């Protein structure tokens, strides 16, 4: 029987009460965004934000609890933008939406940071054993795609270096049940023909750094057929995350029908960029529709997730979507 797990990859919207306070504490210019050496007053504000994120998830009844990534000013580019070997360049559009991040320009060797591990240690203390912890990182392909290489000089070498950096970060994480590796660039800017294994090798390097279940979460649409097959066979993931909200979901279903799947899957079922809140029954129907399209006997585990990060939403809508995911898992039980 397939286990249904309600979870999210995090990147939640800041609560309204925190926006003004943090803006005043950090300043209002590009150079005033988080750099990893924030003051005690800023740390205290983010501690309160993190505690609220954890409470939101526990109240909703999610099966995995993430840190929430309130500090990530630069979305999934964050692990690089706070790194000592990285200089921040101009403002760049974050995929095809109205959010922006600072271009991380890698100018020296990427060694251990520990920034994300410290966030997770704080979250672990807040959760206090009430639910399993899930960790979130950018996948190495997407992080390399979002950054500028001014040190390694070769695309494959840069992806490998990013992967080794992320693997080192994972090794410092506290015990976690699941690791979400966010890989939107696999859809929006996929590897060139013949370069798929470079990307999957990089993902496998990070996946090998943890004993937790690894979910390679793709979003913004369907994967190309050849790349999908490479990911299933080579990435070392326990689950591949698939966007079922995007209009080309029939292509996603075709990929699974034609090329098989990982032992588990993560389904993007609620729209992370639309304030319309899905009913739990609707979410459950989407799971059942997807599974009815697949001739196999089922999966070890199906993660019920949003199709993207949730920071695009107002705080009340993000909480409503957490509740919908958790309730949908109960409907399916």
CB atoms within 10 A of CB 276: 9
Mark 278-294 as b/e (b = at least 16 C-beta within 10 Å). Answer: bebeebbbbbeebbeee
**E-state strands within the chain:** 3-6, 86-93, 100-106, 134-138, 148-149, 178-182, 213-217, 239-243, 264-270, 301-306
Question: What CA–CA distance (Å, rounded) separates 229 from 220?
Answer: 18
Pairing of strands 213-217, 239-243: parallel
Rounded to the nearest 10 degrees, the angle between the axes of helix 225-234 and helix 196-207 is 30
Per-residue tens of pLDDT for the chain, all 333 residues: 889 999 999 999 999 999 999 988 987 666 667 777 888 999 999 999 999 999 999 999 999 999 999 999 999 999 999 999 999 999 999 999 999 999 999 999 999 999 999 999 999 999 999 999 999 999 999 999 999 999 999 999 999 999 999 999 999 999 999 999 999 999 999 999 999 999 999 999 999 999 999 999 999 999 999 999 999 999 999 999 999 998 899 999 999 999 999 999 999 999 999 999 999 999 999 999 998 998 766 789 999 999 999 999 999 999 999 999 999 999 998
Per-residue CA distances from 147 to 9, 80, 204 (Å): 21, 8, 20
* H or E, element range at 42: helix 40-60
DSSP reduced 3-state for 11: coil
> 255 near 294, Cβ under 8 Å?
no
Question: What CA–CA distance (Å, rounded) separates 80 from 64?
Answer: 25
pTM attached to this predicted model = 0.96
Evaluate the CA torsion angle 198, 199, 200, 202 in order and state its sign: positive
DSSP reduced 3-state for 244: coil
pLDDT, residue 33, reads 75
């Amino acid at each position: 029987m397939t286990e249904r797990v309600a979870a999210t990859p995090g990147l939640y919207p800041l609560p309204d009460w925190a926006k003004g306070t943090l803006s005043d504490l950090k300043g209002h210019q590009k150079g005033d965004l988080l750099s990893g050496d924030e003051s005690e007053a800023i740390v205290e504000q983010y501690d309160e934000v993190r505690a609220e994120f954890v409470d939101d998830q526990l109240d909703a009844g999610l099966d995995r609890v993430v840190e929430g990534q309130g500090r990530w000013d630069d979305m999934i580019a964050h692990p690089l933008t706070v790194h000592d070997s990285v200089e921040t360049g101009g403002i760049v559009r974050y995929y095809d939406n109205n959010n922006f991040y600072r271009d991380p320009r890698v100018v020296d060797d990427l060694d251990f940071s520990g920034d994300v591990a410290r966030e997770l240690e704080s979250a672990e203390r807040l959760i206090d054993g009430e639910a399993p912890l899930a960790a979130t990182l950018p996948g190495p392909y997407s992080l390399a795609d979002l950054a500028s290489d001014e040190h390694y000089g070769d695309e494959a070498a840069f992806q490998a270096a990013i992967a080794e950096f992320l693997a080192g970060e994972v090794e410092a994480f506290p015990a976690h049940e699941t690791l979400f590796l966010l890989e939107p660039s696999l859809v929006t800017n996929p590897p060139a023909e013949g370069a798929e294994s470079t990307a999957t090798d990089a993902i496998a390097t990070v996946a090998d750094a943890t004993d937790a279940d690894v979910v390679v979460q793709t979003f913004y649409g369907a994967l190309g057929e050849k790349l999908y097959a490479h990911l299933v066979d080579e990435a070392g993931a326990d689950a591949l995350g698939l966007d079922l909200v995007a209009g080309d979901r029939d292509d996603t279903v075709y990929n699974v029908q034609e090329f098989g799947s990982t032992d588990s899957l993560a389904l993007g079922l609620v729209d992370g960029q639309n304030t319309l809140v899905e009913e739990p029954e609707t979410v459950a129907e989407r799971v059942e529709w997807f599974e009815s399209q697949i001739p196999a006997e089922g999966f070890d585990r199906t993660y019920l997730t949003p199709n993207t990060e949730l920071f695009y939403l107002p705080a009340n809508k993000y909480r409503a979507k957490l509740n919908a995911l958790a309730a949908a898992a109960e409907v399916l039980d």
